[in-house]
């Protein structure tokens, strides 16, 4: 009997120790992790990008404001001024109003934008706006980036964001990190927020400041750039010999199957429409206002024209929105463009006004935006 009593005492002791371990260690670690999640990233970067940090903060802060999100690559970030888009739309839409936000990110072409929107929980933070417009460069490939290790999708502009605490929290980090290189201990540590955030916490403790956000990025995600000027193109042309030698891929033809596959049944464009249904938004597309110098220099005009035709046919067959304002040869290359590819701030104002007017001509878009107050 004495032995049984001792065993029972030992069992009770073990249970008490376990309870102390759980409540004395695990609970504080969990609580500290959740607390860090709420305030830590107002002090240090969550996404390794002050630009993207600012966009996430603005989306969350004014979640009830946005009923139109414009997303895509740097051509969106530099080229769509929400103030000018709204002004033009609201003056032409007979009482219907839009409040738009620029979610363009450097290096995030449509395929990666899709993955970001699907898995990054971006629109959930912004109260599910009514309309999502995706900018397309029709001279470049389009293919959905899956949530799996894909080194080709982890370029220089993308990698900082795709390896950040934000990416780890949302699972986007798998695009850049080979799971076979991730140890079991590291995998387990990432399940505990306090330990997962140890690098940002270290940055905070050691006094590392959040990088300054450029003062010319607006609180609606737009960053205007100065005009290129005539001297820019002289330098650009002089650099062609080096580019042909070191970057021949710029001059290569786009494989013929890329856009037909994207516009086929179940292709990338249809996947965007399905994503819109999943997120509760209407997805539309627009042809990015890329500098014609880019198309001409790298021999992309025939590709662009064919893909414009494909997009119009696809949009007509789906009843989807595709805004095609043409190849902007009428724009002044020295004034309306910032470089061989992107619009300047002046060009962005001009293009955004045109896009706002075009949107106001679409009855479905107006109806969706008119219902925004009920949606909220």
pLDDT at 31: 46
Q: Are the C-beta atoms of residues 100 and 62 closer than 8 Å to each other? A: no
Q: Helix or strand or coil: residue 351?
A: helix
Q: How confident is the model at residue 370 (pLDDT cuts 50, 70, 90)?
A: confident
Mean pLDDT of the chain: 85
Give the Cα separation of 325 and 185 in Å (integer): 53
pLDDT digits (tens, 9 = 90+) for 143-158: 999 999 988 888 888 9
Residue 219 has pLDDT above 60, yes or no: yes
302: how many CB neighbours lie within 10 A of its CB? 12
DSSP one-letter code for 222: -
pLDDT digits (tens, 9 = 90+) for 236-257: 999 999 999 999 999 999 999 9
More confident residue, 321 or 193: 321
Q: How confident is the model at residue 23 (pLDDT cuts 50, 70, 90)?
A: low
pLDDT at 197: 78
- Which percentage of the chain shows pLDDT scores above 90? 57
DSSP one-letter code for 250: G
With tokens 């798998």, the residue in question is 174
Minimum mean pLDDT range among 22-26, 95-99, 124-128, 363-367: 22-26
What superfamily would CATH give domain 69-146+220-375? SGNH hydrolase (3.40.50.1110)
With tokens 């935006």, the residue in question is 369
More confident residue, 204 or 194: 204
pLDDT at 12: 61
Minimum mean pLDDT range among 12-16, 165-169, 370-374: 12-16
pLDDT digits (tens, 9 = 90+) for 284-311: 999 999 999 999 999 999 999 999 999 9
Beta bridge partners of 283: 132
CA 347 to the chain's CA centroid: 22
Q: Are the C-beta atoms of residues 197 and 166 closer than 8 Å to each other? A: no
The pTM for the full model equals 0.86
pLDDT at 375: 45
Q: How confident is the model at residue 44 (pLDDT cuts 50, 70, 90)?
A: confident
Give the Cα separation of 55 and 253 in Å (integer): 35
pLDDT at 354: 98
Residue 10 has pLDDT above 90, yes or no: no
Q: Are the C-beta atoms of residues 277 and 126 closer than 8 Å to each other? A: no
**What average pLDDT does this structure show over 210-217?**
60
**What average pLDDT does this structure show over 48-59?**
86
- Which percentage of the chain shows pLDDT scores above 70? 81
Residue 121 token pair: 């929980």
pLDDT at 376: 44
Rg (CA), the chain: 25
More confident residue, 57 or 119: 119
pLDDT at 125: 62
- Range list of β-strands (E), the chain: 68-72, 100-104, 131-136, 282-287, 321-323
More confident residue, 181 or 331: 331
With tokens 């002046």, the residue in question is 346
Alpha helices in 43-100 (DSSP H): 50-61, 74-79, 82-92
């Amino acid at each position: 009997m004495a032995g049984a009593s001792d065993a029972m005492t030992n069992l009770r002791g073990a249970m008490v120790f376990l309870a102390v371990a759980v409540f004395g260690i695990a609970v504080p670690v969990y609580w500290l992790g959740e607390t860090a999640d709420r305030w830590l990233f107002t002090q240090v970067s969550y996404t390794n990008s002050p630009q993207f940090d600012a966009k996430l903060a603005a989306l969350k802060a004014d979640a009830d404001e946005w009923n139109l999100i414009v997303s895509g690559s740097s051509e969106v970030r530099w080229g769509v001024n929400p103030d000018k888009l709204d002004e033009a739309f609201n003056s032409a839409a007979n009482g219907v109003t839009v409040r738009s936000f620029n979610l363009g990110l450097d290096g995030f072409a449509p395929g990666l934008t899709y993955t970001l929107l699907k898995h990054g929980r971006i629109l959930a933070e912004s109260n599910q706006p009514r309309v999502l417009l995706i900018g397309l460069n029709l001279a470049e490939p389009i293919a959905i980036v899956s949530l799996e290790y894909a080194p080709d999708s982890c370029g220089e502009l993308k990698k900082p964001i795709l390896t950040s605490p934000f990416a780890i929290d949302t699972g986007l980090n798998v695009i850049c990190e080979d799971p076979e290189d991730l140890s079991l201990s590291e995998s387990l540590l990432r399940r505990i927020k306090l330990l997962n955030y140890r690098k940002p916490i270290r940055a905070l403790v050691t006094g590392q400041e959040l990088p300054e956000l450029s003062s010319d990025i607006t609180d609606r995600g737009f960053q205007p750039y100065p005009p290129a000027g005539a001297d820019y193109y002289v330098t650009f042309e002089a650099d062609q010999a080096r580019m042909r030698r070191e970057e021949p891929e710029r001059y290569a033809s786009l494989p013929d199957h890329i856009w037909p596959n994207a516009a086929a049944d179940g292709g990338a464009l249809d996947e965007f429409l399905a994503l819109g249904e999943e997120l509760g938004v209407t997805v539309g597309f627009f042809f990015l206002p890329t500098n014609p110098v880019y198309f001409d220099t790298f021999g992309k005009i025939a590709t662009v024209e064919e893909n414009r035709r494909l997009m119009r046919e696809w949009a007509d067959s789906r009843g989807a929105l595709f805004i095609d304002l043409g190849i902007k040869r009428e724009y002044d290359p020295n004034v309306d463009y910032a470089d061989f590819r992107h619009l300047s701030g002046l060009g962005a104002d001009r293009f955004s006004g045109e896009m706002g007017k075009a949107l106001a001509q679409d009855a479905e878009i107006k109806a969706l935006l008119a219902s925004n107050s009920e949606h909220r």
